[in-house]
Amino acid sequence: MKRLVEGNEAVFLGALKAGATFFAGYPITPSSEILALAAEHAARDHGFKFIQSEDEIAAANAIIGASLAGAKSFTATSGPGFSLVQEAIGYAHQAEVPTVFVNVQRVGPATGMPTMPAQQDILQTKYGSSGDYYPLVFYPNSVEECYRYAITAFNAAEESMSPVILLSDAFIGHLNEVVDLDAIEVKVVPRSRPPLGTGKRSFSGLAHDEEGNPRTADAEVYRKWLSKVKARHEEVAARYSDFKFKGNTSSDTLIISYGIVSRVIAPLDSEFALFRPIRIFPMLGPELQHYAQGYKKIVVIEANDGQYGCLVERELKREVIQVPLLGGRISLGLAKKGLSEKLGREVH
Amino acid sequence: MFKELLKLERFPTIWCPGCGIGQIMIQLAMVMDELGLDHTNCTVISGIGCTGRLAGYMNMDSVYTLHGRTLPVAEAVKLVNPSLKVIVVSGDGDLASIGGNHLLHAVRRNPDLTVLCNNNQVYGLTGGHAGPTTPRDTRTVSSPAGSPYDPVNLQNLMKAGAKYFYAKTTVYHQVHLRHCIKEAIAWPGFAFVDITSQCIENHGRRLGFNSAYEMLLHFRKTYKRAPDGAEILGPDEIGIVRKG
Ligand SMILES: Cc1ncc(C[n+]2csc(CCOP(=O)(O)OP(=O)(O)O)c2C)c(N)n1
Ligand code: SF4
């Protein structure tokens, strides 16, 4: 049935569709609707478990416990809350725990501008916890995609045995669009690991060997483990190399943008070629290289001070023109103004 | 046999000879054996610290969580699978300092968990730093002039809940320790067992004890059984206070 759905609601409904039965969270704008929907759902369906945690740290660790106990689990947070869950994200990578973290971004740092959209957690998403790890991250730009990629996030979590991050922002999270979610067909990957209480396994944040024995001073065992995990993540990522490309043969410039910004600057397609990664991490290296080839100039427009742009530059090994949209004002006008300044000509 | 509940192939443990944690593990395994708890119906969850390593020696599914995060993990496990017996074993620093906020809220929510707190009055693993249970004036690596604060009153913290179970015991009083673990496991709610034990290497020697044995004798001398039905345990008393 077609109806009006909000981005945050679509994320929640996608999680349910994917088989999630556990949510823990701590209220924070602009992600709180997801928590409220989970609370309502738990009141109706006793198979669905909900905890309003004492803080985001508790919520992040609760979804890890729930996953180990056999539930598909998730949390949703924003801004400072996303900082608080970083240690647990690292733990879930080391202990190989599938779960989903939703981050509805707002302007920071710290309390910043709580109701205003931003894309300022891109590098934190990739590098926020201690150690080396290879997160899978998706960033939808519509209500329908919020639903689709919530399901994808749960699937990829089970396949990669890791915490997958679904990025959104205050704009996408609160966007209302008419969609028919029932008509969307997405496969659901079943739970991959037997729950606690069925074996003699040791789950831990310690470096470990194949049998789960702690190996905290053996570089060889660690390197083997890390390369195995990296390969697994790359293999899973390859199943979800999702992006949108709109070429423009009359333009010498390719604009790369994602999430809310890609939505706002869509009308620039008459003047520029556009590339939008949906799988933000691991980066779409080969795809970026392929589509960037024919263009003299590469521009990255994003709602932060160049976080993805610097990674694109590294990936393409060529200079990237950066157009940051800061302070929660994400508009076509500002994008054009920034482009005009950086390109040295009037962009209409 | 309680030994079947331990991963003997991982022995020797990482613990120093004479450490009190081994005793807690043995007594826990003996109680589990008696109650028929094993890998099919029970899980052990621990935090970071010397005590935290206990989980990995249990011959069942176990989780060695982040520092201080045993309770959120354990609460979630119990919520997802209420038929599973969930036993938390961790250090006093882990539970009462970095995990203090979770402890406060576990008291409020009263989940059906058994918590064994290895109270060695110090941060053992990091080398003997003062912690939330370190007595006033005690010298540690991080309180060279003596700890300036009174320790947290775990009994009062537990009693902040409308329903509570708080047991105080020591590794010297093994029969009592076993009794407390058993009662805690049987308690239908949040049951906290505060186990005074010895960290000889990173604490006891600095206090002037020559061996773990001397520390155990000190526990024997210091602690007396509280009268049955006592509603409050004095500082030198062992026993159980509860309200259901
Ligand atoms: C977030 C974080 N901070 C600090 C540490 C370092 N650390 C490891 S164990 C520990 C304290 C352990 O003390 P306690 O919980 O009393 O356990 P014990 O070693 O005495 O058994 C600390 C501070 C850590 N692992 N993680
Ligand atoms: S440092 Fe202390 S607490 Fe840790 S194993 Fe040694 S004696 Fe036990």
B5 in a domain, yes or no?
Answer: no
A105 vs B58: CA distance, rounded Å: 41
Compute, in angstroms, the gap from residue A140 CA to the centroid of ligand 2.
50
Which residue is closest in CA terms to ligand 2's atom 6?
B16
Which residue is closest in CA terms to ligand 1's atom 20?
B124
B21 in a domain, yes or no?
Answer: no
Strands A3-6 and A99-107 come out as unpaired
B12 min Cα distance to partner chain A (Å): 13
What CATH number should be reported for the domain holding residue B226?
3.40.50.970
Domains of chain A listed by start with CATH number? 3-239 (3.40.50.970), 243-343 (3.40.50.920)
B84-112 CB burial, b ≥16 within 10 A, e <16? bbbbbbbbbbbbbbbbbbbbbbbbeebbb
Is the CB of B126 within 6 Å of ligand 1? Answer: yes
Compute, in angstroms, the gap from residue B218 CA to the centroid of ligand 1.
25
Rounded mean pLDDT, A116-141: 98
- The residues near A48 (Cβ < 8 Å, ≥ 6 apart) are A16, A20, A21, A22, A23, A38, A41, A42
For the beta carbon of residue B233, count every other beta carbon within 10 angstroms.
18
**φ, ψ dihedrals at A49, nearest 5°:** -105, 140
Question: Which numbered atom of ligand 1 lies nearest the CA of B92?
Answer: 16
Beta strands (DSSP E) in A16-145 are 20-25, 49-52, 72-77, 99-107, 113-117, 137-138
Are B104 and B65 in contact by the 8 Å Cβ rule? The answer is no
B95 vs B84: CA distance, rounded Å: 22
Are A16 and A45 in contact by the 8 Å Cβ rule? The answer is no
Rounded mean pLDDT, B112-124: 98
**φ, ψ dihedrals at A135, nearest 5°:** -70, 145
The structure tokens listed for A56 are 């985001």
Is B69 in contact with A66 (Cβ distance < 8 A)? Answer: no
Is the CB of B123 within 6 Å of ligand 1? Answer: yes
Parent domain of B135: 42-243
Give the pLDDT confidence score for residue A243 in this predicted structure.
98
Q: Which of B24, B83, B31 is nearest to B55 (CA)?
A: B24
Polymer length of chain B:
244
B161 in a domain, yes or no?
Answer: yes
Is the CB of B89 within 6 Å of ligand 1? Answer: no
Is the CB of B91 within 6 Å of ligand 2? Answer: no
Is B76 in contact with A66 (Cβ distance < 8 A)? Answer: yes
Specify the DSSP element, H or E, that contains B241.
Answer: strand B237-243
* pLDDT digits 0-9 by tens, A167-180: 999 999 999 999 99
Does the structure show a pLDDT above 90 at B169? yes
Is the CB of B54 within 6 Å of ligand 1? Answer: no
Compute, in angstroms, the gap from residue A294 CA to the centroid of ligand 2.
64
B198 in a domain, yes or no?
Answer: yes
B50 vs B126: CA distance, rounded Å: 9
A153 vs B3: CA distance, rounded Å: 42
Give the pLDDT confidence score for residue B227 in this predicted structure.
95
Are A321 and A187 in contact by the 8 Å Cβ rule? The answer is no
* pLDDT digits 0-9 by tens, A146-158: 999 999 999 999 9
Is the CB of B194 within 6 Å of ligand 1? Answer: no
Which residue is closest in CA terms to ligand 2's atom 2?
B199
Does the structure show a pLDDT above 90 at A210? no
Rounded mean pLDDT, B38-55: 98
Judged by a CB distance cut-off of 8 A, whether residue B45 touches chain A is yes
Beta strands (DSSP E) in B152-234 are 164-170, 191-196, 224-225
The structure tokens listed for A244 are 């949108």
**φ, ψ dihedrals at B197, nearest 5°:** -145, 175
* pLDDT digits 0-9 by tens, A51-108: 999 999 999 999 999 999 999 999 999 999 999 999 999 999 999 999 999 999 999 9
**φ, ψ dihedrals at A299, nearest 5°:** -120, 135
* pLDDT digits 0-9 by tens, A257-310: 999 999 999 999 999 999 999 999 999 999 999 999 999 999 999 999 999 999
Compute, in angstroms, the gap from residue A143 CA to the centroid of ligand 1.
43
B117 in a domain, yes or no?
Answer: yes
**φ, ψ dihedrals at A289, nearest 5°:** -60, -45
B59 in a domain, yes or no?
Answer: yes
B57 in a domain, yes or no?
Answer: yes
Beta-bridge partner residues of A20: A72
Of B64, B69, B105, nearest to A204 by CB-CB distance is: B64
Q: Which of B14, B98, A207, B112 is nearest to B25 (CA)?
A: B14
B134 vs B137: CA distance, rounded Å: 9
Amino acid in position A65:
G
A273-288 CB burial, b ≥16 within 10 A, e <16? bbbbbbbbbbbbeebb
Give the total number of structural domains in chain B: 1
The structure tokens listed for B29 are 């395994």
Arithmetic mean of pLDDT over chain A = 97
- Split at pLDDT 50, 70, 90, the class of A192 is confident
- Split at pLDDT 50, 70, 90, the class of A211 is confident
Pocket test for ligand 1, best of B67, B129, B140, B194 (most atoms within 8 A of CB): B67
Is B76 in contact with A55 (Cβ distance < 8 A)? Answer: no
Of B53, B56, B77, nearest to A65 by CB-CB distance is: B77
Are A59 and A26 in contact by the 8 Å Cβ rule? The answer is yes
Does the structure show a pLDDT above 90 at A348? no
Question: Which numbered atom of ligand 1 lies nearest the CA of B120?
Answer: 20
Any idea which ligand is nearest the CA of B97? 1
B81 min Cα distance to partner chain A (Å): 7
Helix ranges (DSSP H) in A85-198: 86-95, 122-127, 143-160, 170-173
Does the structure show a pLDDT above 90 at B110? yes
B205 in a domain, yes or no?
Answer: yes
Rounded mean pLDDT, B128-150: 97
